Amino acid sequence: MVNVSTFIDIIISGVGLGALYALVAMGFSLIYKVTGVLNFAQGQLALVGAYGVVILGTSALLSTSLPAVAAVGATILIGVGLGILLERVVFRQFIGEPVLSVIIVTLALSDIFSGFIRFLLGPNYRSYPDALTFGFSIDLPLGTSISAAYALAVALALAVVVVLMLFFRYTVTGSILRASASDEQAAMVLGVSIERTIALAWALSIGITAIGGMLLAMSSGGAGFAIETTGIVIFAAVVFGGLDSIPGAFIGAIVVGLLEELGSYYLEGGSAIIDFGPGFGQILPLVFLLVVIVVKPYGLFGTERIERL
C-alpha cells in the first residue's frame, strides 16, 4: 500500500533533485543549440564549478580564502572565462570538422578536468564553507517539506530557463544566436561574427553549468567526484526533452529526478513494492532514455531534422 504522505515527499524530493540536474542539462542544451556540439565533458565541467568553491572559499589549497559569496561569484566568472578560453583555444580549431572529432575532444577534456582537480586536491570529498551548507528544510503545505538546497535549485532553475527563453526570443543577441544555429553561412553573409557567437554560447553554457555543479555540491555539504557521474544522467534528461530545446532540458531533468527518486524508494530496498536490487533508481532514467530514443528520437521538444536524398 502506497502511503500518500510519503509519496508526496518523494515527488518533492524528485523535483528538487531534477532542478539540480536541470542547470547542468540546460548548459548542455544551450551549447548544442548554438554550435551542434555534444559536450560529453558536461559532468566534469560541473565538477569544476563544485570544486571552484573549495579552492577559493576554503584553505584546502590556498593559504587565504574568499568569503563564501565571493567564492561563488568568482567561480561563476571562472566558468564564463573558461568557456571563452575553450572556444578560442580548442573549439574554434574544429569549426567545420566532423562531429566525431569534436566528440573525441570533449571526451579528452573530461579526463583533463577530472585529472587536474584530482592532482590539485586529491580524490577525497571536500566540505563546503558553513555558509554554503543548508542543513535545514522549508515547510510546505500538507505536512511536507523540501530541503533548502533543493528549494534554491528549483528557484534558480526556473529563473534560468525563463531568462534564457526571453533572451533567445526578445533580445538582438539572442536572435543572432538563433540565426547562427539555424544557418551559419547565411548568418556570416549578413555580417554575424560566428566566432563571437560561439564564444558567447560557451561562456553562458559553462557559467550555468558551474552554478549547477555548486548546487549539486551544496546539496550534500561539499564537493565529491560523484558529481562527474551525473553526466550520463544529464544526457538522458536532455535527450528526453530534445537536444536543442532549453525548456525541454529543464522538463527532462525534472522527469529524470522524479524517476530516480521514485525508483530508489519503490523499486529497491526494504520499502520496495518490487525489489530490483540496489542501484535500480539510478538505472531507471537510463531505461527510460532507451524507450524515449526508440519511440521519439528527437525528444519531446527537439527539432526534427529531415534529410532528403
For the chain, what is the mean pLDDT? Answer: 84
Domain spans in the chain, listed from the N-terminal domain onward: 4-295
The C-alpha atoms of residue 180 and residue 197 are separated, in whole angstroms, by: 8
DSSP 8-state code for residue 269 = S
The C-alpha atoms of residue 245 and residue 242 are separated, in whole angstroms, by: 5
**Confidence category of residue 290, pLDDT binned at 50, 70, 90:** confident
Q: Residue 84: its pLDDT value, please?
A: 92
pTM summary value = 0.88
What percentage of the chain exceeds 70 in pLDDT?
Answer: 89
Q: Residue 309: its pLDDT value, please?
A: 44
Q: Rounded to an integer, what is the distance from CA 287 to the centroid of its chain?
A: 20
User: Does the pLDDT of residue 132 top 90, yes or no?
Assistant: no
What percentage of the chain exceeds 90 in pLDDT?
Answer: 35
The C-alpha atoms of residue 5 and residue 105 are separated, in whole angstroms, by: 47
User: What DSSP string runs through 66-128?
Assistant: --HHHHHHHHHHHHHHHHHHHHHHTGGGGTTS-HHHHHHHHHHHHHHHHHHHHHHH-SS-EEP
Element (H, E) at 305: none
The C-alpha atoms of residue 150 and residue 140 are separated, in whole angstroms, by: 13
User: Does the pLDDT of residue 163 top 80, yes or no?
Assistant: yes
User: Does the pLDDT of residue 268 top 80, yes or no?
Assistant: no
Of the candidate ranges 14-23, 145-154, 284-293, the one whose mean pLDDT is the lowest: 284-293
Q: Mean pLDDT over residues 67-71, rounded? A: 92
CB 41, CB 169: distance < 8 Å? no
Q: Residue 272: its pLDDT value, please?
A: 63
Q: Rounded to an integer, what is the distance from CA 193 to the centroid of its chain?
A: 27
Q: Mean pLDDT over residues 247-261, rounded? A: 90
Exposure string of 113-127, with b = 16+ CB inside 10 Å and e = fewer, is: bbeebeeebeeeebb
Q: Residue 182: its pLDDT value, please?
A: 63
The C-alpha atoms of residue 229 and residue 198 are separated, in whole angstroms, by: 26
Place of cell 568553491: 53
Residues in the chain: 309
Domain 4-295 has what CATH class? mainly alpha
Q: Residue 306: its pLDDT value, please?
A: 54
Distant-in-sequence, close-in-space partners of 294: CB < 8 Å, separation ≥ 6: none
Q: 129: closest CA among 196, 171, 75?
A: 75
Q: Mean pLDDT over residues 183-194, rounded? A: 62
Place of cell 533533485: 17
The C-alpha atoms of residue 52 and residue 74 are separated, in whole angstroms, by: 8
Of the candidate ranges 152-161, 209-218, 273-282, the one whose mean pLDDT is the lowest: 273-282
Distant-in-sequence, close-in-space partners of 92: CB < 8 Å, separation ≥ 6: 195, 198
Element (H, E) at 173: helix 172-182
User: Does the pLDDT of residue 308 top 60, yes or no?
Assistant: no
Cβ atoms within 10 Å of 64's Cβ, excluding its own: 6
Cell triple for 113: 578536468
| 288 burial level (CB within 10 Å; 0-12, 13-18, 19+) | buried
CB 25, CB 250: distance < 8 Å? yes
Model confidence over 27-51: pLDDT tens digits?
Answer: 999 988 888 888 899 999 999 999 9
User: For residue 246, which amino acid is it?
Assistant: I
User: Does the pLDDT of residue 214 top 50, yes or no?
Assistant: yes
